[in-house]
Amino acid sequence: MASTLVELCGLISSSVATVDARCKALSRSYPDLDNPANTAEDESVVNDSEIAEAASVALAAASQLIAHLQLPARTVLETSLTFLVSAALGVVSASATAEIIREAGPQGCHINDIGKKNGMDPMKIARVLRPLATQHIFREVSPDVFAHNRISVTLDTGKSSEAVLAAPEDKHQGAQGFAAIVELNTDETFKAGAYIQDVVLTHNKDADEFDTPLNRAFNTHVGLFSWFERPENRVRFRRFGMAMDAGRRVSPPGSALHRFNWSTLPERTLIVDVGAGIGSISLSIAKANPNLRFVIQDRASVIIEGKEYWDKELPGASASGRVSFQEHDFFSPQPVKDADIFLLCRICHDWSDSYTLKILKHLRDAAQPTTKLIIQDRIIPFVCGEDEAYNYIPGAMTNTDSPKPLLANMGRVLPYLIDMQMMALLSGCERTLPHYWRLAREAGWEIEEVYRAGADPMNQLVLKPI
């Protein structure tokens, strides 16, 4: 019988061979890590279903192989210090370093020249860039000279460094890349995360909803979204909206359209996007389905941003009545009584069970017998595999079995990190399918179907009124 090490190496080898063969069949090349100028077409090959599936196996096997081969003490020590890599990433993103390096050209930029542009101490620039380059984010092409690669270029907004440094409030408006998410994670999430231990060790199930790690980190006693709206958090508030939009782009293009079949809905179906933010998910659905109508609901300050966003991305939709905007607090009764579909995109994970129940019950009260509720959120998998008790629900079980000896969840850690982010910023959480099932039943809804999209972390639950 082959050893676990040999089995893992075999999975890596066979999976990489599959990727290589598929690329050749498509007359394509897998994107070059050292090339920051890969085109959108170059990058699109990674979304090919066969390549994506093989790559996920290779990644899981490589991660598990490292865990087997590395000394346990080193694993624990490095993990305990990983937060410092986040700190380095935050410094680089907030200082326009990515833009400065891009402006220097493919030959890279010396730390002294970076410092001249952003005012930082050159030695400190090097000290934050080296741990990143060691993890293949940037390249140190010669002593103290750093250049972009395929990964680091995602930090680049595409704007000039001068513009970014002069107007940080506008940095993420119309930006390329994912800097808005990175800065959300390395600013408020990072600082709040330092207080997770304090809160978790002292909390009980009846704890104050507004005694979160973020509340302690920033000495406040309001919810995250009210905190964002304070004048001193103007930059964070605008960044958060762009981070949510950028988060949509982390999923494969059009992934929201590849689950629930929106195109089969009747003409003029009314979709109420509850807590929609700027309405980016509904916008993608609207672009592909011109026969559907939308109501975008959120707080007044967010609705203003949403109107601007839709007018830019889908001109005429508002004037024609295809989309309307409505100020609404989802903890109060739902004003729309004739909705065909209520849509909750990344809402439930923001709130504790008691608050999520309030949202779901208000929607149930406003629902017609034929109304559907679609919840788009992460369904947290068990590391050991799914609970067979729910296999009667279409789509409840994952579509593929992990090849041995891989973990059943394929070693994908991002959903659990997002769950801890919810713990840091809010009193919310990501939920397993059984957790969602219990909440839905208590609120008067029944899970009818589950839509998954491969490795995409965002799933959809379709519910009907009980």
Residues 6+ apart with CB under 8 A from 55: 15, 19, 46
**H or E element in which residue 41 lies:** helix 40-44
| Cβ–Cβ under 8 Å, residues 155 and 129 | no
**Residue whose pair of structure tokens reads 């997002």 in the numeric block:** 418
Cα 341 from Cα 367, distance rounded (Å): 9
- Count CB atoms within 10 A of the CB of residue 300: 11
Q: Which of 252, 89, 114 is nearest to 184 (CA)?
A: 89
| Cβ–Cβ under 8 Å, residues 225 and 277 | no
Q: What is the dihedral of CA 221, 225, 229, 232, to 10 degrees?
A: 60
| Cβ–Cβ under 8 Å, residues 193 and 423 | no
Active-site residue flag, 349: yes
Cα 374 from Cα 451, distance rounded (Å): 10
CA dist list (Å): 140 to 130, 132, 443: 7, 10, 55
Report the residue count for the chain: 466
Q: Considering 110, 148, 328, 349, which one is annotated as catalytic?
A: 349
What DSSP string runs through 88-106? HHHHHHHTTHHHHHHHH-T
The vertex-288 CA angle with 283 and 289, nearest 5°, equals 95
The vertex-385 CA angle with 380 and 388, nearest 5°, equals 100
Query: Residue 179, exposed/middle/buried by CB under 10 A (0-12, 13-18, 19+)?
Result: buried
Identity of residue 432: T
Cα 276 from Cα 354, distance rounded (Å): 21
Cα 298 from Cα 77, distance rounded (Å): 43
Cα 67 from Cα 75, distance rounded (Å): 7
| Cβ–Cβ under 8 Å, residues 72 and 176 | no
What DSSP string runs through 332-358? S--S--S-SEEEEES-GGGS-HHHHHH
Could you list the active site residues?
349
